[in-house]
Amino acid sequence: MEVELFFQQIVNGLVLGSVYSLVALGITLIYGIMQLPNFAHGHLYMLGAYLTLFMMTMYGFHYWPAILVSVAVLVLIGMLLERLVFRPLHNAPHINSMIAAVGVMLFIEALARKMWGSDYHRLDSPYEDAISLFGLTITQQRLIIIIAAIVLMIGLNLFLKRTVIGSTIEAMAQNREGAFLVGINANKVSLLTFGIASGLAAAAASLAAPINLVYPSMGAMVNLKAFVIIVLGGMGSIPGAVLGGYILGLAESISGTYINSEYKDLAAFVILVLILTLKPTGLFAKEAR
């Protein structure tokens, strides 16, 4: 029984890690291109969950079309934020962009409370049935989260490595000045990167919403954990964001089971203290900018 419990928590940790990694990837992409720690990213995550929820409950969308609408809307919102909020501050001191990100965060949460109230909502997934896999019990929704996150990560990697547009994003992340010299349009790359990052946040929230509650401040803790992940993995490192997300997810799941479930959120901050003490540059320091 103890062995089964342990492996059950490993599976739960992979579910959490899949969500965390998708969110952290978005923050990492934006940081790599713009050197901007986007504090509003967790609230874009929250907005994505609400859009999927209300596409299903108010307009009768099926789960997957609702997710596609949510991702598409968040891609557009992300691009608008880059164009209207962050691009005008490009040549200003970095503190200005950080303050703007905090302002966007507060605005999005206030808007969500105004539109949908402060109540907790539950998104009912059509995949609630439990299945047995290698002797472990897992709901279809949790399995979908793991598989969908892996597919998205592989898709993002192929996009960055195998397409011209993806290559320009990587070039900008590695050397912004050099990218300018070879004629890359930084504004277009930043616009696209913000859109992709926001879409990833919406996908992560929509996948996780059926196993969590949806409420206006739900993005705050996710945002904190995502920043712990990118510090753990190395600022600007895409592999670090993925690995860090799974490390944190597993740490939370195992500590919540074997120590105390009420303190599982502290795992993120314990890991943060340890990484800042032992390896401040992160696990993938060579790839971090």
Report pLDDT digits (tens) over 155-214.
999 999 999 888 888 888 777 677 777 778 888 899 999 999 999 999 999 999 999 999
Q: Which residues, including other chains, have CB under 8 Å from residue 262's CB and lie 6 or more apart?
A: none
- Phi then psi dihedrals of residue 92, to 5 deg: -85, 165
Domains and CATH numbers, the chain: 2-118+127-278 (1.10.3470)
Would you tell me how many other CB atoms lie within 10 Å of the CB of residue 183?
7
Residue 134 banded pLDDT, cuts 50, 70, 90: confident
pLDDT of residue 289: 42
- Asked if pLDDT for residue 277 goes beyond 80, the answer is yes
Q: How far apart are CA 5 and CA 31, in angstroms?
A: 38
Confidence band of 78 (pLDDT split at 50, 70, 90):
very high
d(CA 170, CA 160): 7
User: Mean per-residue pLDDT for 223-242?
Assistant: 89
CA–CA separation, 174 and 54 (whole Å) = 39
Q: Which residue has the tokens 């740490």?
A: 251
Q: Where are the beta strands (DSSP E) in the chain?
A: 121-122, 130-133, 136-139, 213-214
Q: Is the pLDDT of residue 100 over 80?
A: yes
Helices (H), the chain: 2-34, 41-57, 63-81, 94-116, 140-162, 164-174, 176-181, 186-208, 218-233, 238-258, 266-278
pLDDT mean over 89-94: 85
Q: What are the beta bridge partners of residue 133?
A: 136
Ramachandran category for residue 212: left, alpha or beta (phi over 0 → left; psi -120 to 50 → alpha):
beta
User: Residue 167 forms beta bridges with which residues?
Assistant: none
Residue range 23-44: mean pLDDT, rounded: 91
One-letter amino acid at 182 equals: V
Pick from 253, 257, 230, 225: which is nearest to 243 by CA?
230
pLDDT at residue 288, rounded to an integer: 39
Question: Residue 186 CB: number of other CB atoms within 10 A?
Answer: 17
pLDDT value for 1: 60
Report the pLDDT value the prediction gives residue 241, as an integer from 0 to 100.
92
More confident position, 2 or 217: 217
Question: Tokens for 21?
Answer: 């990694």
The percent of residues in the chain predicted with pLDDT above 70, rounded, is 97
Q: pTM, whole model, 2 decimals?
A: 0.92
Let me know the angle formed at the C-alpha of 118 by 117 and 120, rounded to the nearest 5 degrees: 110
C-alpha–C-alpha distance, residues 122 and 212, integer Å: 7
pLDDT at 281: 82
Mean pLDDT computed over every residue of the chain:
89
pLDDT the model gives residue 285:
64
State the pLDDT confidence band at 287, using cuts at 50, 70 and 90. Answer: very low
pLDDT for res 130: 87
For the segment 50-61, what is each residue's pLDDT rounded down to a tens digit? 999 999 999 999
Between CA 133 and CA 195 the distance in angstroms is: 36
The pLDDT of residue 205 is 97
The rounded distance, in Å, linking the Cα atoms of 85 and 95 is 14
Residue 39, token pair as written in the block: 């504090």
DSSP class of residue 216 equals T
